[in-house]
Structure 1
Amino acid sequence: MKLYHHPLSGHSHRARLFLSLLGVPHELVEVDLAQRAHKAPEYLRINPFGQVPALDDAGTIVTDSNAIMVYLARKLGKTEWLPTSPLAEARIQKWLSVAAGQIAYGPAAARLITVFGADFRSEEVIQRAHGVLALIEAQLSSQAFIAASQPTIADVALYSYIARAPEGFVDLSAYPQVRDWLARIEALPGFVDFQRTPAGLEA
C-alpha cells in the first residue's frame, strides 16, 4: 500500500497511525503542500479534492482519512477496530463525525492558524475546541476509550489534532481524562508519533 501524506497534516497522521497500529506494510509518499503539489494535475488524478491523505492499494484509491480507516478495517477484517454490530458501529460513526466537524473546526483550525497561517478567528476556534474537549473529557470519565472499552478507529480519528492542540494555543491542562487517554493511545503497540511543531503553547 502507498499513502500520500504530509507530516504536519493531522488527517495524514490519522491514516498513517492506523496503518502502523495494524502493522500494515506501506510506502509513504510526501506531498509538498508548500509547493502546492496537492493541486498539481498528477495528484488531482489521484484525489480530485486536492487533499491529503490518499491511499493507493494496488490501484484502488481511497481518499479521506476516516474513509481510509473504514476501508482498512473492513478489508482486513479488523472488527476490534470497527465492530459490525449496528449500535457499536453507530457509536463509532458519531465520533468520526465529531472528528470531521467539531475537531476539524476547533483544535485543528486553531493549529492551522499558528502552523500554516490560516485565516480563522482564533478566539472562535479556540472556544469551539474547549467545547468539544469538555464533551470528550466527560465521555472518558467512565471508560478508557472514546467509543468502547478498547481502542477503535474513533480514538484514532480524534487523537492527532487533540494531541497537538497546544500548538494552536488550546491548553489541555484542564482535561486530565483526555491527557490520560492520549497516553493510552501512545502506549499502543505500533504507535507512531505525530510530528511536533514549535508553535502556540509549544513555542
Structure 2
Amino acid sequence: MSLSLSQTPSVPVTVEFLPGERPAVRSVELAQHFGLKHKNVLRDIDDLTRKLPESFCRLNFEPTEAEVVVPASGGMRKDRAYLLTRDAFTLLVMGWNSTRAMEWKLRYIEAFNTLERAALENARSEALADGARAALAVPPERLHRINQAVRYHQKGLNCIEIGKLLDVSRDVVWRLVRQARTLGLLPASGPTSGPAAASRAARGLAQ
C-alpha cells in the first residue's frame, strides 16, 4: 500500500556537514531507510563513481567507516562507508524506484532543502550584521553621502549623473557606491560597479 509522508513513521533523517559547510548523508543510513543491504549500496556507489570524473567524486563522495554488528559473534567490525553530498545522493538514488524509495527520496530532499534555507538565512543575517558593524565605523557625513549615492543609484542614474547631482567627480561616486556594496546597502554587482562602467557611461553621454 502506498503511504503518504504523514503516515510514514517518524524516523529522523540525519544530515552531517563536510568541510565548507556542505550537507551530507551517510550511506549506512541510506541503506537502512531505503530497505537495502549496505553492501548493495556500496556496490551502486562503486558502479557510479567509476563513471564519474575523479574531481566530482572527490568533492561529493567522502570515504568514511561504519561500525556494523557481526551476526555470528555479536561483535562489531568496521566497514567502509561514504558521506554523500546532495549531488551524490541525487545521482545514487535516481534508479531506486520502489514506493518506499520514493517516500525516502522526498524526505531526504526536504531535509537538504531545510538545511540550505537555514544556511542562506544565516548567511543573510551575518551579512546584515557585518554591514551594520561596518556602518558604525563610517563618519556620519560620509554615511549621508553614501546614502545619497545609493538613492540615486537605485533610480538608475550612472556615476556621471550622480556626480553632477552631488557635485563630486565620477571616481568619488564610484568609491561611494563601492563602499555602499561593502556595507550591504547595494547588491554585490551592478551597472556602476567601477571606473570602467563610468567611462562607458561618459562615452554614452558624449554621443
Which TM-score tier does this pair reach, normalised by the shorter chain?
under 0.3
TM-score (norm 1): 0.24
Structure showing greater relative contact order (alpha-carbon pairs closer than 8 Å, 6 or more residues apart): 1
TM-score (norm 2): 0.23
Mark the structure with the bigger radius of gyration.
Answer: 2
